[in-house]
Amino acid sequence: MQFFSGKSVRSVWLKTMLITLCTALLACSDNSGQKHLAQTKPKPDPYTIRFVTINSPSTYFIDSQNNYAGLEYDLAKRFVEFLGPPYKLEFIVVDSFDKVFPTLLRGDADIAAADISITPARKRQVLFGPAFNQVQAMVVYNRDKNSEPNNAEALLEKRIVLPKSTSFVDRMRELQSKSPALTWKETDKLSSEQLIEAVARNEIDFTVADNHLVAIMQYNYPQLDAGMMLGQADKIAWALNKLHGEERLQQMQAFFKKIEKDGTLRNLLDRYHGHTKRLKPVDVTAFLSKSHTLLPKYVRLFKSAQEITDIDWRLLAALSYQESHWDNYSTSPTNVRGLMMLTEQTSNMMNVTDRLDPKQSVMAGAKFLLWMKDRIPSRIPEPDRTFMTLAAYNNGVGHLEDARIIAQKLGLNPDSWADVKRGYQLLNDPAYYVNARHGYCSCGAPVIYTELVRSYYQIMQKYFPTYDPGVDPYKIAETKMPWLLAKAS
């Protein structure tokens, strides 16, 4: 065994300590460099417009056809198209509203588009673009479990939950200043939509939400209702970071000025909210009840009709409900009959031998709807073209064309359902119908009809899945039926 002298031991010890110290210093230097590199964000592409938003029926979602949708999404898409190439669109979806502003303020997004109310506190933090919508905060309650809350006292000692960092919290604090006993909880785990669902399930007593979201949710949960209003109506706008948002703000102002002038904004607001006031809770309740009792007998027929026409079976079912309430023996005073309420003329056109035969009725109604759609200009974008087709199914394509002509003469867009509705409503005015090719029309009816079908279709989309028949050699996207056109001429 070899022993070291004291001098050798000290030498070895000093060398060891020196090596250890150098290694540690190098490690610290490397870690510091790595940390610095990790903190340095790559410079964002100046031509990629990053929008931060949340998932909700009024902002951004994937619809039943697997397409991106929502008012905020459609506006953002059109804004980037307005800027033109080489600008591109990117969406950053956060899981709660209280993450929207932090994402914007730390520079991870360029624009916040999440149904944001303009408030004095927020104006101190961010720049707001032009207001494009107006909403009213409402107390949401379950009418089956609670009385209508029409004052602060009705909210005391109740289970109230609000989405964190929203303007609803500010509204409740204003109310609390007058009623100090008022309390509530705040959450960043549940969205406004989820909290409304919790009210519907009686898991909480109340929440607060904007009136347009409440109207949408009432189609899914007819036991919901809106009680007292909190504060004044709020304006909705996009938000920008104050540090570098001035140039983008000018672009935004020009964009909203354009779409307000050309009717695009009006059309988009109508697309997402124009039909939400048509159904009463009792109507929704009856529809949901019959969708479980009567509809199952006919689902296969609607899906078979989709295979032939490529029209969503749920839209056909909604149309049928509006026509007959799925009563196969329904007959009107004007002798329209069956599930799709076919006239004798339409039945002859479609070779229907028995209008009370559900199979013949559904298939003929679907083919007739598709034939109507083929007579409407293909340049009209969806979903407006479908809305006009529904109106034509109810009251003929002639009155539809008259309404489109009137809309055009008024300086409106004849290819926008929101504007054509205004044309329809003037066809009972002598100043307009005397010059209309098809004359007088009590044309509030097809407008209401179309909006009701839209409403029932929205409920169907919530509760019933899409149907994918796969590759079908007989499926068609447009009417290619010479025999049908020949019979119609």
Tell how strand 239-241 and strand 185-187 pair up: unpaired
What burial class does residue 481 get, using C-beta atoms within 10 Å of its C-beta: 0-12 exposed, 13-18 middle, 19+ buried? middle
414 in Cβ contact with 405 (< 8 Å) = yes
Radius of gyration of the chain (CA): 30
323 carries an active-site annotation: yes
Residues 6+ apart with CB under 8 A from 46: none
- Residue 40 CA to residue 431 CA, distance in Å, equals 68
- Residue 268 CA to residue 259 CA, distance in Å, equals 10
**What token pair was written down for 488?**
């119609």
CA distances from 269 to 64, 101, 272 (A): 20, 24, 6
The catalytic position among 72, 323, 401, 451 is 323
**What token pair was written down for 108?**
């991870």
Phi, psi of 18 (to 5 degrees): -65, -45
Identify the CA nearest to 446 among candidates 381, 393, 371.
Answer: 393
Question: Catalytic residue positions?
Answer: 323
